[in-house]
Structure 1
Amino acid sequence: MRLTDHTDYSLRTLIYVAVHPDELVHVQSVADAFDIPKNHLVKIVQKLGQLGFLHTVRGRSGGIRLGRAPERIGLGEVVRAMEPDFALVECFHQGDNACVITSACHLRGVLGEALRSYFAVLDRYTLADLVDQPNVLRRLLGDTAAAVVPVSDIKVRRRATSV
């Protein structure tokens, strides 16, 4: 099984932001650190924001920060939200499965069990588990003072949200 670049970049973005907890991070900083096209990353950040994993601040002094504590961002939750589907083989598709051996084959059951095990492992970990050495990660990411804006320097107007 392989995750899409979309999910990979989502996890990397969350890691980058998590190791800068007191700062608004610029999308360009994440793009530069991982050599990811900024235009692609903007779409990912928008989705992560819509899902509540990130909080985005627009404007000249804007940036991104975590939408909730790293201990509350489960890896399984992120992967499930960012991947388009988990139909590993054709027989996972109920409506358009044309495989002639589906009725006698046990592949779907075996791969289904493997997929459940895969998520059981991911569900045991959070973003906090990935960033337990923030200083090392920051150094490896080429952390520079110019790459971030301290949150204390930003005035954010909160809009009322309806539930």
Structure 2
Amino acid sequence: MRLLRSTDLALRVLMRLAVAGGSTPTTREVAEDMDVPYTHAAKVVADLTHRGLLTARRGRGGGLSLTEQGRTASVGALVRAYEGDGDVVDCEGATPCPLHTGCRLRGALRRAQEAFFAALDPVTVADVVSDPTGPLLLGLPTASRTPSADPPGERRP
């Protein structure tokens, strides 16, 4: 199973904010830290804010911070919310599978998908940033902690 980019980014944003300590990075700084386009990060941040997992304050002294609900959020519930509960394969789409009425594969894939979510259900955002991940996240060079020698819009090789 492969996660959508928005799912991956939502998890990484929450993880980044979970180790932010008292700092409140901006959406732009988080996007730079995660090496993703600002527009993608802004969309995910807006959704996470709507879900009550983080707060976003505008203006001077503003920035992003993780809420207690965000810290204790189930990774399984987050992945489910972003990925949806739909079937792994589309057996009845524009070109329906001729086996869809008697196929056992669809049910097996559905059970596997649910097992994947169930394995992530007890895991929280706080769990995934505990040692050794949290210190590794803190050790990464970030836009908010290190000046960049690269011109705006260019990426490092």
- Shorter-chain TM-score range: 0.7 to 0.9
The corresponding residue for 1:7 is 7
Structure 1: gaps (5+ residues):
148-163
1:3-38 Cα shifts (integer Å, max 9, x gaps): 111111111100100001322121122111121001
* Partner AA of 1:14 in structure 2: L
The corresponding residue for 1:61 is 61
Cα 1:34/1:145, change in 2 over 3 Å: closer
CA RMSD of aligned residues (A): 2.3
The corresponding residue for 2:102 is 104
* Partner AA of 2:110 in structure 1: G
TM-score, with structure 1 as normaliser: 0.78
Q: Distance in 1 between matches of 2:3 and 2:43?
A: 17
Give the fraction of aligned pairs with identical amino acids, expressed as a percent. Answer: 36
TM-score, with structure 2 as normaliser: 0.81
Check conservation: 1:6, 1:44, Cα contact below 8 A: yes
**How many residues matched?**
145
Shift of 1:143: 7.3
* Partner AA of 2:126 in structure 1: A
The corresponding residue for 2:126 is 128
The corresponding residue for 2:83 is 83
1:82-105 Cα shifts (integer Å, max 9, x gaps): 2255321113x6x87822211211
Shift of 1:126: 0.7
Matches within 5 A, 1:111-122: 111-122=109-120
Q: Which 4+ runs in 1 deviate beyond 4 A?
A: 143-147
Check conservation: 2:25, 2:64, Cα contact below 8 A: yes
SS at match of 1:55: strand
Q: Distance in 2 between matches of 1:123 and 1:112?
A: 16
The corresponding residue for 1:158 is none
The corresponding residue for 1:25 is 25
